[in-house]
Structure 1
């Protein structure tokens, strides 16, 4: 009995997504199953971070990188970051987990990506403590579709507020836990970024739950959610897979508080 081609493809794709360990074997099943599974195999790529995720070589990405939608680059491949970015031109969710300054080639490749989500140390792309607005504008204005920005910088990112207005769809903003905004600073974020809907201060650590508000302060503005994440890598992978992540938790907390702000 032959199944309709659409149903057969659905079964293969479902198996590849739900049981990721079977992907390599599924590609070998038939000559037409390979092209179905291949995009899924390279949809999420992690390089330079200890993970069980897909960590293909640069040679493989130069052949299959057009399938990549979610790309996480750690500290190891700094000298190769530009090549990874060029090899994955359709990336919409990008993490660059290094505070070392990227070279101009990498920044140019970064600006060509159709990004919707970005997790990055700002020090990697410009010196925001001695901020030159034209420099920041040149970079941030390249991301008209960006909705989620997770800033992993070590120092207070308050000087970047004017730059965030250059992101016309920015709705989710995450800042480091150690940033302690005064009430007037919080108001400035909400006033100067009209598209902002969710604002969180985040840290990695052992909370009472997978996501929790274990370090909330009584003086915090109700619009600021302090979120404790057990493992940033796991959270990034959940988001890439379309599963419930940090931002899903922040949304629940924000909506729960909304009644208190009316």
Structure 2
């Protein structure tokens, strides 16, 4: 004899939109718990699965990945994840970090599977992957090897929506490449923020950067305080800032990227805050060196 238990029509129920909001708040507060929350009900799975795949961080080793992701309560992914999840899952990826530990075929697989990325960090020479990268047309925040924009056919589709561009020096560029680099930066239609890693400050024309009125932030990333030459046009440019980046695990560039991916303040936000404070006279007009460990609250009372 089977007994069917039916819920009473008088049983209290939350409106479904409120129930969904509660699940989403719980999921965003602790993303690593999303797989368990998805088991509550089919509707919870439908609501939360897009959040599970929103940020994908792939680095040199799964153990290290797990350490970085744990800091932000994010789930970790392996290359095998591409094979055991339906393709629709990866269309929900918005933030993708590809570290130097992946080989070209693994990186190509992830890039091809995630067509809707808006924030991409790719940490190796991108030349072999330009075909796949050109399938991405919505990337707004991009970190990539400088060789990607030293060619003669820029702008690639990849750059059409980019507003924030960080360039890495992972491959050698020659003098003619440096000239083309400055020219090609001007062809990225929506660029407002540019960041150059060490040595690239000597490859890009300071005069060209200073003359580009679209730019709201010109950042040099360095491991120590930076000294501009007395003749550099950036010396009195209110948009220029040099950011000394920390080397500690809990403050390094991977952590900074993850912080920005989950909605926190990354180095771009720090630079914008400093530039605004300097324009408002809250810091000395001639100061351009800051550190990624600085507290922006201190700038409010510095004066200038």
Among 182, 190, 195, the residue aligned to 1:174: 195
Q: 1:197 to 1:151 in 2, by over 3 A?
A: same
Q: Indicate the RMSD between aligned Cα atoms, in angstroms.
A: 2.5
Alpha-carbon distance, 1:2 to partner: 1.0
Q: 1:110 to 1:7 in 2, by over 3 A?
A: same
Among 48, 68, 83, the residue aligned to 2:109: 83
Q: Show the 5 A alignment for 1:129-168.
A: 132-134=151-153, 137-139=154-156, 142-154=158-170, 158-159=178-179, 160-168=181-189
**Structure 1: gaps (5+ residues):** 206-213
Indicate conservation of the 8 Å contact 1:47/1:77, yes or no: no
Alpha-carbon distance, 1:216 to partner: 3.6
**Structure 2: gaps (5+ residues):** 1-11, 70-75, 247-251, 287-304
- Between the aligned partners of 1:221 and 1:15, the Cα distance in structure 2 is 47
Indicate conservation of the 8 Å contact 2:169/2:200, yes or no: no
- Higher Cα Rg, which structure: 2
Indicate conservation of the 8 Å contact 1:229/1:235, yes or no: no
Given the two structures, how large is their TM-score scaled by the length of structure 2?
A: 0.71
Alpha-carbon distance, 1:180 to partner: 4.3
Corresponding residue number in structure 2 for 1:96 = 122
Q: 1:162 to 1:72 in 2, by over 3 A?
A: same
Q: Show the 5 A alignment for 1:1-262.
A: 1-49=12-60, 50-52=64-66, 53=69, 54-56=76-78, 57-59=81-83, 60=85, 62-75=87-100, 76-99=102-125, 101-103=126-128, 106-113=129-136, 114-123=138-147, 125=148, 128=150, 132-134=151-153, 137-139=154-156, 142-154=158-170, 158-159=178-179, 160-181=181-202, 185-191=205-211, 193-203=212-222, 215-217=225-227, 219=229, 221-223=235-237, 224-230=240-246, 231-258=252-279, 259=281, 260=285
Alpha-carbon distance, 1:22 to partner: 1.3
Alpha-carbon distance, 1:221 to partner: 1.6
- Between the aligned partners of 2:14 and 2:103, the Cα distance in structure 1 is 45
Alpha-carbon distance, 1:168 to partner: 1.1
Alpha-carbon distance, 1:194 to partner: 2.8
